[in-house]
Amino acid sequence: MSAPIKPRTTRKIRVGTLTLGGDSPIAVQSMTATRTQDLDATRRQIEILEKAGADIIRIAVDSKEDVEALKILRAGSKAMFSVDLQENYRLAPLVAPYVNKIRYNPGHLWHLDKETSIRDKVAFIVQAAREHDLAIRIGVNCGSVDPDYKARYPDDSIESMVQSAADHCQMMDDFGFTNYCVSLKDSDSSKVIEANRRFAGLRPDVPLHLGVTEAGMPPEGIIKTRIAFEQLIPQGIGDTIRVSLTVPDDDKGEEIEVGRSILDDIENGRFRSVPENFLEGLNIIACPSCSRVENGKFVDLAQDVRRMTEYAEKYKITIAVMGCRVNGPGETDDADLGLWCGPAHVNLKKGTESVGAFGYDEILGRLKEELDKLIADRYGA
């Protein structure tokens, strides 16, 4: 018999007609990967996610044209919509009438409108949320932590994430806004576990959105996510989940199906043992893609990278494959080799250094050259 799941202590928040937190069921969510302005493709993906049972569907909005598209999508769907603002906090009042929740990333506020304080920017988002009765997610991501926090905790990347989230919660509290939740995402399951544990210790009242970011392709992406969820949810940590998988657009419903099956297993005490050597060798992390992908070949590229690198499976090397310039440059920094996609070129990095930008038809060859060099330097093979 497995130990009973600890009750969650978070307060309840509202996302449209859905309640998150406390003893409410853990909500399962996903994000569209299509270009938001491609209405047919985005509508189709919303339908796929709804059919799979998504409780919340997140959409990326980066421009006024995206807001126009969102307006049309809103009119055609009753789903709970969340919008991801990333670098565009100023769009908050424009998107607010059409969504139920806004996600902002504290790490994407510092470099915009430098004359406006971060507190004022948060106040601006809160104002839009308040006027339209929305929820907010403070979404901290390992690859884009506010540099002030990185400087404060140079040897503890987890603490920089946790403290950044805690300070943004404090701002919400100061503004008297309580309808918010937090996420602390990393591509490394163990860091997701530690960050969420620490945060839940500090702020047991704040609902948590769990996810392993850039988990990659199935089955590895599913295993990485399962490792984190199996550790956290039985401890009463986690009020909503997202499984991030790099899959073709038509298969996006898999994120919801996998999320539901992990929750069902945890609830029924079925814990999957993870192979002992899992992640001891080659680790490919890849973003789940979204409207910001700058070239439609991204998912194929991620799959090609995985096939091409099979020969290197036994080496402990991390390769990151990211879909755009928003998170690509930062979230490849910790990988041994990183690729992030631009409209016509793929940027190749070795650690934090750029190797160059290469055409989609040359990148695999260049990646192989760098991988071979790395294996030779590190393992003498």
- Residue closer to ligand SF4 (CB basis): 238 or 328: 328
Positions 314 through 353 that interact with ligand SF4 (CB under 6 A): 322-324, 326-328
**Under rule CB under 6 A, how many of the chain's residues touch ligand SF4?**
12
Which CA distances in Å does 361 have to 12, 329, 337?
50, 21, 18
Beta carbon of residue 291, minimum distance to ligand SF4 (angstroms, whole number): 7
- Residue closer to ligand SF4 (CB basis): 290 or 364: 290
- Residue closer to ligand SF4 (CB basis): 143 or 234: 143
8 Å CB contact between 371 and 337: yes
Positions 286 through 305 that interact with ligand SF4 (CB under 6 A): 287-290, 292-293
- Residue closer to ligand SF4 (CB basis): 293 or 346: 293
Distance CA 362, CA 37 (A): 30
Place of tokens 């839009």: 128
Residue 331 CB-density burial (10 A; 0-12 exposed, 13-18 middle, 19+ buried) = buried
Which CA distances in Å does 50 have to 73, 216, 239, 258, 339?
13, 22, 19, 14, 32
8 Å CB contact between 146 and 119: no
Beta carbon of residue 197, minimum distance to ligand SF4 (angstroms, whole number): 25
8 Å CB contact between 240 and 270: no
Positions 228 through 287 that interact with ligand SF4 (CB under 6 A): 287
65 Cα distance to chain centroid = 23
Positions 88 through 147 that interact with ligand SF4 (CB under 6 A): none
Beta carbon of residue 247, minimum distance to ligand SF4 (angstroms, whole number): 13
Place of tokens 């304080």: 117
- Residue closer to ligand SF4 (CB basis): 10 or 144: 144
- Residue closer to ligand SF4 (CB basis): 289 or 347: 289
Angle at 64 (CA atoms; ends 70, 137), nearest 5 degrees: 60
Q: Based on the shown chain and the rule CB under 6 A, indicate whether residue 59 belongs to the binding site for ligand SF4.
A: no
- Residue closer to ligand SF4 (CB basis): 94 or 287: 287
Beta carbon of residue 240, minimum distance to ligand SF4 (angstroms, whole number): 18
Distance CA 338, CA 20 (A): 36
Is beta strand 13-15 parallel, antiparallel or unpaired with respect to 18-20?
Answer: antiparallel
Beta carbon of residue 244, minimum distance to ligand SF4 (angstroms, whole number): 8
Beta carbon of residue 30, minimum distance to ligand SF4 (angstroms, whole number): 12
Beta carbon of residue 59, minimum distance to ligand SF4 (angstroms, whole number): 11
Residues that bind ligand SF4 (CB under 6 A): 287-290, 292-293, 322-324, 326-328
